[in-house]
Amino acid sequence: MIINTGSRTDTVQYYSEWLLKRFQEGFVYSRNPLFPNKVTRYELNPEVVDCVVFCSKNYEPILERLPEITNKFNTYFYYTITAYGKDIEPNVPDIGDSIETLIKLSKLVGAKRIAWRYDPILLTEKYTKKRHYETFDYMAQKFSPYIDRCIFSFVEMYKKLKTNMPEIIVLTENDKDEIAKNLGLIAQKHNILLQTCATLGNYDKYNILQSGCMTAEILGKANDITFRKINHSGNRKGCRCMESRNIGDYDTCPNGCKYCYANQNPEIAKKNFEKHNIESPLILGGLNPTDEITQSTQKSFLVKHKQLALY
């Protein structure tokens, strides 16, 4: 089983003390976003948790105590660092600070456990193709010795994005092809493995892999483990990732990124953040009298290698 800590909210940046406490106590509760009165309990035990996957835009708050988790669990880290400034990502550290933190993280956990996410790619009058190429080139040169790969995707034009970002320029298929070609050339120059995430376009001709960003191959190679062959449906159209269980919650991330799919709007996230209780097994608030708690049926997907007797 894979535990995902950050695809619904930036748990590392804003809830790191809570997260560490959950691992100390060995369990966590997760509320069903579709049926709020249904809560699932997950055991945080390396016997049934094959890998803990982190997704964040700022690992600085957890670096000092991260070994409390990495010393016990297989891990993999997705670090999102983009070309955008405070006008789009209000509470995300600037590029210089993010570069320093990624290097610190890499020295702590090893380059093979880190994927740099450069996504979502979007265009405005300020964030042009040229600006993307220049920023990507600058960061790629810095990150090359410290990462396993780079993953990118194009922004999805869902309904609330048009409200939150009226300045966005809709990407055409020609735009996407041009951007992929140039990112591919830059990645090759810096000897970085580049791949897409949940992107339907095929960019093989630009040496860009179509692999899922969280596959058995990626997590297995990073941790020297082997997963059993299991069919996974992915998380959305075009996704080839392994199934995982998320312990975060929607509408709880104070980063305030305009393109965020996990927040309805920044104000709701801010109000919800105030409900956070570090002592609670839930990331947001506590248990209610009407909650139904179900114990997750957890099992390992790893191939257990038998030790050979020596004679």
Given this model, what pLDDT does residue 304 score?
77
pLDDT exceeds cutoff 80 at 178? yes
Give domain status of residue 201, yes or no.
Answer: yes
pLDDT band for position 238 (50/70/90)? Answer: low
Which residue would you say has higher pLDDT here, 310 or 54? 54
Segment 295-305 shows an average pLDDT of 89
Name which of 51-65, 158-172, 271-285, 294-308 the model is least confident about: 294-308
pLDDT band for position 308 (50/70/90)? Answer: very low
Given this model, what pLDDT does residue 229 score?
86
pLDDT exceeds cutoff 70 at 305? no
Segment 287-292 shows an average pLDDT of 96
Give the residue among 184, 117, 219 at the shortest CA–CA distance from 230.
219
Segment 32-48 shows an average pLDDT of 96
Segment 224-253 shows an average pLDDT of 81
Q: Which domain holds residue 86?
A: 2-295
Given this model, what pLDDT does residue 237 score?
58
Q: What is the pTM of this model?
A: 0.94
Given this model, what pLDDT does residue 307 score?
42
| Strands of the sheet with 75-80, listed across from one edge | 194-196, 149-154, 114-121, 75-80, 51-56, 2-4, 245-246
Give domain status of residue 302, yes or no.
Answer: no
Q: In the 3-class helix/strand/coil scheme, how is 68-119 assigned residue by residue?
A: HHHCCCCEEEEEECCCCCCCCCCCCCCHHHHHHHHHHHHHHHCHHHEEEEEE
Give domain status of residue 310, yes or no.
Answer: no
Amino acid at 43: E
Segment 276-289 shows an average pLDDT of 96
Give domain status of residue 304, yes or no.
Answer: no
Which residue would you say has higher pLDDT here, 197 or 43? 43
Given this model, what pLDDT does residue 310 score?
42
Give domain status of residue 308, yes or no.
Answer: no
Terminal alpha carbon distance of the chain: 35
| pLDDT tens digits for range 61-116 | 999 999 999 999 999 999 999 999 999 999 999 999 999 999 999 999 999 999 99
Q: In angstroms, rounded to a whole number, what is the distance separating the alpha carbons of residues 218 and 224? A: 10
pLDDT exceeds cutoff 80 at 150? yes
pLDDT band for position 306 (50/70/90)? Answer: very low
% of the chain exceeding 70 in pLDDT: 95
Given this model, what pLDDT does residue 27 score?
98
Given this model, what pLDDT does residue 216 score?
93
pLDDT exceeds cutoff 90 at 253? yes
Give domain status of residue 186, yes or no.
Answer: yes
- CB contact at 8 A, 213 and 241: yes
Q: At a CB cut-off of 8 Å and minimum separation 6, what does 142 contact?
A: 99, 103
pLDDT band for position 5 (50/70/90)? Answer: very high
Number of structural domains the chain divides into:
1
pLDDT band for position 233 (50/70/90)? Answer: low
pLDDT exceeds cutoff 60 at 309? no
pLDDT band for position 119 (50/70/90)? Answer: very high
Please return the burial class of 109, using the count of CB atoms within 10 Å of its CB with bins 0-12, 13-18 and 19+.
Answer: buried
Which residue would you say has higher pLDDT here, 200 or 37? 37
